[in-house]
Amino acid sequence: MSKQSSSVQSKAKPYPRRCAVCGEVSVAKCHIRYKAEVRHDGKLHTFSIASLGIDQCERCGEQFFTASTDEEINLALRSHLGLLPPNEIRAGIALCDVNQKEFAQHLGIAAETVSRWLTGASIQTRSLDKLMRLYFTMPNVRVALSNLEAVPVEHQTSAGSPAKIEVRESCVGISGENSGPGPFRRIFTQATIARSESFLLIAADH
């Protein structure tokens, strides 16, 4: 078997096709057992495909990867990793009665990313795959993720005043009265407290 070529021939052309290596019109579709090595999500994955459709020259044996071949490899990788295929993602979105844009917003990703998943152009990470499964099967997760967009940056108390974050004296030491390092071995100086504009430090009642 000759070394595989990286040339991509249009799958719209009829067979047999002209071979880019030997020049003969003898390239036809065949199926082979293929050992794939694909890097995804920061790792190199090795797996076997029992029957991969590929273009091969009957004259010189040169093999050519087409767009269809790449799609088969991507689907095999999804199956190997246990990731949702495009048709199941599309079905899940429809079942949850949201459009692609809303779905992307709820997951905190770009709408273009979802579009690439559905066309098979890219494959989701394992963490996003798990999040999608939760989203599709658990209504409370869908509600929680959809409501995250409405949460204000500054939480309000019932009285409408900014929420106070309590720092207990038993946890941290504050220089001055009742000073001394707490269990976390950190001392908060008056300068440190003055620089903290996002929190209101109050002593806990004992």
Domain end marker among 81, 96, 124: 81
Residue 138 forms part of a structural domain = yes
Domain count, the chain: 3
Q: The domain containing residue 170 runs over which residues?
A: 155-201
Q: What is the CATH number of the domain that holds 66?
A: 3.10.20
Residue 69 forms part of a structural domain = yes
Q: Looking at the structure, tell me whether residues 96 and 145 fall in a common domain.
A: yes
Residue 98's nearest CA partner among 68, 131, 65, 139 is: 139
Residue 178 forms part of a structural domain = yes
Residue 8 forms part of a structural domain = no
Residue 47 CA, chain-centre distance (Å), reads 21
Q: Looking at the structure, tell me whether residues 141 and 93 fall in a common domain.
A: yes
pLDDT tops 70 at residue 147: yes
Between 109-123, 134-148, 154-168, the lowest mean confidence (pLDDT) is in 154-168
Q: Looking at the structure, tell me whether residues 96 and 142 fall in a common domain.
A: yes
Q: Looking at the structure, tell me whether residues 29 and 76 fall in a common domain.
A: yes
Q: Looking at the structure, tell me whether residues 99 and 145 fall in a common domain.
A: yes
Note whether 24 and 3 are within 8 A (CB). Answer: no
Residue 9 forms part of a structural domain = no
Q: Looking at the structure, tell me whether residues 140 and 164 fall in a common domain.
A: no
Domain end marker among 81, 100, 123: 81
pLDDT digit string (tens) for 48-107?
999 999 999 999 999 999 989 999 999 999 999 999 999 999 999 999 999 999 999 999
pLDDT tops 90 at residue 134: yes
Question: Using CA atoms, how far apart are residues 53 and 92, in angstroms rounded to an integer?
Answer: 29
More confident residue, 31 or 161: 31
pLDDT digit string (tens) for 17-58?
999 999 999 999 999 999 999 999 999 999 999 999 999 999
Q: Looking at the structure, tell me whether residues 114 and 136 fall in a common domain.
A: yes
Q: Which two tokens stand for residue 98?
A: 């949201």
